[in-house]
Structure 1
Amino acid sequence: MAVAREMFCRDGIHATGVDRILAAANASKMTLYTRFGSKEALVRAALRQEGEIWRATFSSKVMEAAEDPMERLRAIVPVLSGWFNGGRFYGCAFINAVAEHTKGEPWLRELAAEHQRACLDFLEGLVRDAGYAATRDLARQLLLLVDGTAAELMVSGDEGVLRIAARTLDALLAVEERVPA
């Protein structure tokens, strides 16, 4: 699973054949088909695991960054910077997967939407804790910021994108209305 997850994220799903995964994992086809049944099932499992690991890492790093809810929101971009500079940055696995597949593949879009909903729920909790009024709308804006930053970093490789993302985050937080304390 770890080998498949790494290869799918790094090289893409279509570019990663079953034989290549099996050779790198020193596993047999029998093992693959006994455990997963097909490459599609392996992709599903690998993406689910990648999403779980990414969300757990992202959320724990944001939560550990500060006690203050506003500072946690401001930690989003530094956490993205750590991901970008951490040695295993390939962009968002779900955006990449949807982009390289036929758009009519509902199972893949469903997996991506599931990941997006989980990310949105986490961001909405941060926004609510910080006392903002329009929690879902601001959470969606933050998700767009996260996804857009990841996509731009993947395409450009330019760390300057993070400075722009930080300014955008500050602007979003400054214009949104907070609930009176």
Structure 2
Amino acid sequence: MPTATPGARDRILQTAHDLFYRDGIRATGIDRIIREASVTKVTFYRHFPAKDDLIRAFLDYRHQRWMAWFSQTLEQQTGEGKGLAEALAATLQNWFEDEAFRGCAFINSAVEMAEALPETLPIARAHKQAMVQCLAGYLPNNVSGRLRAEMLALVIDGAIVKAQRDGGGEEALLLLQAWLALLPAAAD
């Protein structure tokens, strides 16, 4: 059965996603997206009247895609009998080892675009809050569990930045695993 060709909007969004994530939002021009998505300028602007509209759509798309991957991978890892700490380390290792890994798109966009497009900050906060909620689902539903989820998210963000900065996640994962071993004592 033939696979349907993605529509113009989807091609634009996927192309922008790949370029924004790999090269940065500011470094990626509209003309390049139009060329690589194989659309006309008229088609592009019909779907995204301004680059800011495309940036917001990119962040929404990235959020949906990343959270689906994160929650499914974490669920799969814990379903294999791993504890939360081991499952988190395995999940992040999977991501850090991907050749397309360029850190967190939300941390990157908040740093890169905070002044030019301040609405990236609440979008980034909402993404990070969704990650905390996902983590909280594996912890007791009480104040201690919510605190532990926030702590996990903070350490995960640090590991992501370290893996991006260092060009690999091996050391970041070792440090993350060491910190996670301390988590139960730190949250009591």
**TM-score normalised to structure 1 length:** 0.89
Q: How does 1:136-175 map to 2 (within 5 A)?
A: 136-158=146-168, 159-175=170-186
Provide, for residues 133-177 of structure 1, a one-character-per-residue CA deviation record: whole Å limited to 9, x for no partner.
611211111001111111010001242221111111111134323
Partners of 2:160 and 2:53 in 1: CA distance = 26
Note if contact 2:114-2:120 (Cα within 8 Å) is conserved in structure 1: no
Query: Where does structure 1 differ by over 4 angstroms across 4 or more consecutive aligned residues?
Result: none
Q: Does 1:39 align with 2:51?
A: yes
2:128 aligns with 116
Is the CA contact 1:73–1:127 (under 8 Å) kept in the aligned structure 2? no
Distance apart, 1:36 and its partner CA: 1.8
User: Unaligned stretches of 5+ in structure 1?
Assistant: none
Cα distance in 1 between the residues matched to 2:69 and 2:156: 14
Matched residues in 2 for 1:102 and 1:175: separation?
A: 33
Aligned residue pairs, count: 175
Distance in 1 between the 2:143 and 2:52 partners? 42
* Alignment TM-score, normalising by the size of structure 2: 0.86
Correspondence for 1:94: 106
Query: Could you tell me how far 1:12 is from its partner in structure 2?
Result: 0.4
Q: Which has the higher contact order (CA 8 A, sep 6+)?
A: 1
Are 1:124 and 1:136, in contact at CA under 8 Å, matched by a contact in 2? yes
Give the counterpart letter for 1:165 in structure 2. L
| Structure 2 residue 60 is the aligned partner of structure 1 residue 48 | yes
